[in-house]
Amino acid sequence: MTGNYGDNHPLLISPAEAVAIAIDNVTMVSASRARDIIKEWIRRTSDRSSAENWPGWMYAAIYEAGRIQGIREERQKKKGDR
């Protein structure tokens, strides 16, 4: 699947695929990490939490955290191969 949401990161996983993978792979650790991101989001944006779109932005923060986590893991693997 290709796509682009106005940034430099093409969409390489569909929402359906993401859900299918998550159903089989979500752990207490990943749920806890997502919860921590939510708590931090609410803490930092409490004055703006009444805005209509804030949950979408919070979910985007979780998505970006996962994307960055994956990038960093791949970089770490490459450094270990040298």
Give domain status of residue 57, yes or no.
Answer: yes
Give domain status of residue 35, yes or no.
Answer: yes
pLDDT at res. 51: 57
Give domain status of residue 21, yes or no.
Answer: no
Q: What is the pTM of this model?
A: 0.65
Range of the domain at 33: 27-81
Low-confidence ranges of the chain (pLDDT < 50): 1-2
CA 58 to chain centre: 9
pLDDT at res. 44: 81
Q: Which two tokens stand for residue 78?
A: 């490459």
Q: Provide the number of structural domains found in the chain.
A: 1
Backbone angles phi, psi at 27, to 5 degrees: -120, 170
Contacts of 45 (CB under 8 A, 6+ apart): 54, 57, 58
